[in-house]
Amino acid sequence: MLRRTAGWFDTRLGTSAFVQKALTKVFPDHWSFMIGEIALYSFVVLLLTGTFLTFFFDASTSHSVYRGAYEPLNGVEVSDAYRSVLELSFDVRAGLVMRQIHHWAALVFIGSIVAHLCRVFFTGAFRRPREINWIIGVLLLILAIFNGFSGYSLPDDLLSGTGLRIAHSIALSVPLVGTWMAFLLFGGEFPADEIIGRLFVVHIMIVPALIIGLLTVHLAVVWRQKHTQFREPGRTEGNVVGSRLWPSYTAKSIGLFFAVSAVLSVMGGLVQINPVWLYGPFEPQQVTSPAQPDWYLGWVEGALRLVPPFDVRLFGYEIPNPFFPAVLLPGVTFTLLLAWPFLEQRFARDKEAHHLLDRPRDHPVRTALGATTLTFYTVMFVAASNDLIAKWLGASIFGITLIFRILILLLPPLVGWGTYRLMKALAASGAGHLSEMPLAALTNRGADGHGAHVDGGKGHGAAGPPGDGHAGNRLGAPAEEARTPGG
């Protein structure tokens, strides 16, 4: 039967050659290569649960009366969007668990993209020839954040409505075109009635389609270029060592899909997220405190809270305060992220192709810069909770804010410097792992510069030539012979 089907397709499309190659394709087994798959499978969960939700969500701000199981709002006139989310949560069987899995999946989706990005960054996996996939990955991150925000805004509850209010103000703050931009995006002055319907189309169609398109290209490029791998015996620039797609890697990967969906399902069932019935329907003159966005916009929110009060007025025109933390900062952030592979190629004078990964210590400058950047965004992220921290600590909000203002200037360079020292010392100590490094290595200032020597040839100099002594060292063994016995 299988033979006949394969033959049927092969005689029409010539698929067998590809299928043969695909089934025996080798994937490295290192755990960190699967972080991207967490994001992929969270996205699949998002699509599955999201499709269910679309059957019940009503993307309209027209008003109607909610009649259902949630007592305090029973008989209250609310927007259709809010009413349908209430019904989903209380009156549609399995609706709430689907909604909650969807929301948790969104948080984990973007979180795992960031984790994946960090893995790729700190191991140098973005270097030639993988710049294209780095760019696509950053674009996927931007799209994911955007889709997260548009989804968060759909229920038309008080918290998300406040978020949309701030988004409108941020759009307004853009020089020259801001006013028109805000009016065209929202359909008019806030709160324009069109925005929920528009966000819905963006959230369930436009952005997911873009994500699916870019994700396909992302995976196709990985497929074509093959995975990177860590330096280990038998692994060279010219080969890939690991498990075959069929059946071993397929089973593990599908297993990971089920594992990710299991985690998300348990969270969706046991941990309440975004209880919009407690937040109440959006009314433009109402507000709640504390008011934070979902975590992936926390850094922008923190920046809005940390930036000191100033506007720019030039020739009778104004650049309002929110432009700097909420437009300029994200703009610079993502531009630098997109440009990073090219910046590093330029400054490290390394335009060679690399398929063997760096360990973070092999490139202390990059690692230190990455740590500095992460610290900078983490401080902003935590500062977005300044009011809650003030409440929990029993301190003044402005005391907490002052501490964050100091930390954001002090901590990133400090962490960067510490990381640099640590990486240098680690490379010099020749320890296999951070935990095995003798403490003395860190205090031994003379250790600098001996890295490559003590390192047993595993690593290579920070900014030097790629040091790839193994380039010609192909095993040349056919895959069948090289596999270890087992199974």
Partner 1 sequence: MRSDLRDMSRRQRTSPPGSGVALAFGFSAVSSIALTVVYGFGGQPQLEGLLLGIALGGLAVGLVRWAQDLMPGGGYVEQRDTEMGGPAQSAAAVRSFERGEQEVQRRSFLGKALAAALGALGLAALFPIRSLGSAPGTSLEVTPWAEGIRAVTIDGEPVRPEDLEIGGVLTVFPDGHLDAADAQTLLIHLPPGVYRPVASGREGWAPEDFVAFSKVCTHAGCPVGLYQPANRRLFCPCHQSIFDVLDAAAPIAGPATRPLPQLPLEIDADGFIAAGGDYSEPIGPGYWSRPRA
Partner 2 sequence: MKLRCARSGWAVKVLTALGAIALGGCAYTSNLTNPHPSQEPVADTPERGRVLYLRDCAWCHAAEGSGTGRGPDLISDTNGAAFTDFMLSTGRMPINDPSEPTRFSSPSYNPSEIEDLVAYVASLGGDGPPIPVVDTQAGDLALGLELYQENCAACHSTTGVGGALAAGPDPFDRSLIAPALTQSTPVQIAEAMQVGPGTMPVFGRDTFSDTEVDSIVRYLGHLQRPDDRGGLPLGHVGPVTEGAIGWLVGVGGALLIVRLIGTRVGEE
Question: According to CB under 8 A, which residues from 182 to 221 bind partner 2?
Answer: none
Q: What are phi and psi of 79, to 5 degrees?
A: -70, 155
Tokens of 341: 């592979």
From partner 1, partner 2, none, interface partner of 399 (C-beta below 5 to 8 A by class): partner 2
Q: Which stretch binds partner 2 (CB under 8 A): 167-175, 199-207, 335-343, 394-402?
A: 394-402
At closest approach, how far in Å is the CB of 444 from partner 1?
33
At closest approach, how far in Å is the CB of 123 from partner 1?
17
DSSP 76: -
If one asks whether residue 101 binds partner 2 (CB under 8 A), the answer comes out as: no
Tokens of 159: 């918290």
Separation of alpha carbons 171 and 174, rounded Å: 6
The answer to whether residues 214 and 143 touch, using CB atoms and an 8 Å cutoff, is: yes
Give whichever of 90 and 342 is closer to partner 1, judged by the CB atom: 90
Sign of the torsion formed by the C-alpha atoms of 357, 132, 150 and 269: negative
At closest approach, how far in Å is the CB of 128 from partner 2?
23
If one asks whether residue 387 binds partner 2 (CB under 8 A), the answer comes out as: yes
At closest approach, how far in Å is the CB of 483 from partner 1?
5
Query: What track of x and - describes contact with partner 2 for positions 242 through 281 (by CB under 8 A)?
Result: ----------x--xx--xx--xx--x-xxxxxxx-xxxx-
Separation of alpha carbons 72 and 316, rounded Å: 50
Give whichever of 316 and 486 is closer to partner 2, judged by the CB atom: 486
Q: Residues 142 to 171: which contact partner 2 by CB under 8 A?
A: 158-159
At closest approach, how far in Å is the CB of 8 from partner 2?
35
At closest approach, how far in Å is the CB of 226 from partner 1?
5
If one asks whether residue 394 binds partner 2 (CB under 8 A), the answer comes out as: yes
Closest CA to 62 of 76, 85, 87, 81: 81
Closest CA to 88 of 103, 75, 77: 103
Which residue is listed with tokens 């319907």?
197
Which residue is listed with tokens 């780095």?
134
At closest approach, how far in Å is the CB of 36 from partner 2?
10
Residue of 25, 26, 38, 358 that binds partner 2 (CB under 8 A)? 38
Separation of alpha carbons 466 and 352, rounded Å: 7
Query: What track of x and - describes contact with partner 2 for positions 328 through 367 (by CB under 8 A)?
Result: ----------------------------------------
Residue of 5, 14, 93, 285 that binds partner 2 (CB under 8 A)? 285
Query: What track of x and - describes contact with partner 2 for positions 397 through 436 (by CB under 8 A)?
Result: xxx-xx-----------------------------x----
Which residue is listed with tokens 């038998």?
234
Residues in the chain: 487
Q: What are phi and psi of 168, to 5 degrees?
A: -60, -45
State yes or no: cis peptide before 129, omega within 30 of 0.
yes
Q: Which stretch binds partner 2 (CB under 8 A): 66-74, 175-183, 362-370, 407-415?
A: 66-74
Residue of 288, 331, 346, 414 that binds partner 2 (CB under 8 A)? 288
The answer to whether residues 68 and 90 touch, using CB atoms and an 8 Å cutoff, is: yes
Give whichever of 265 and 372 is closer to partner 2, judged by the CB atom: 265
Which residues in 316-345 are b (16+ Cβ under 10 Å) and which e? eeebbbbbbbbbebbeebeeebbebbeebb
If one asks whether residue 286 binds partner 2 (CB under 8 A), the answer comes out as: yes
What does the longest C-alpha to C-alpha distance in the chain come to? 78
Q: Which stretch binds partner 2 (CB under 8 A): 13-21, 129-137, 187-195, 388-396?
A: 388-396
Separation of alpha carbons 260 and 40, rounded Å: 10
State yes or no: cis peptide before 191, omega within 30 of 0.
yes
At closest approach, how far in Å is the CB of 245 from partner 1?
10
Q: Which stretch binds partner 2 (CB under 8 A): 52-60, 167-175, 288-296, 462-470?
A: 288-296
If one asks whether residue 108 binds partner 2 (CB under 8 A), the answer comes out as: yes
At closest approach, how far in Å is the CB of 418 from partner 1?
31
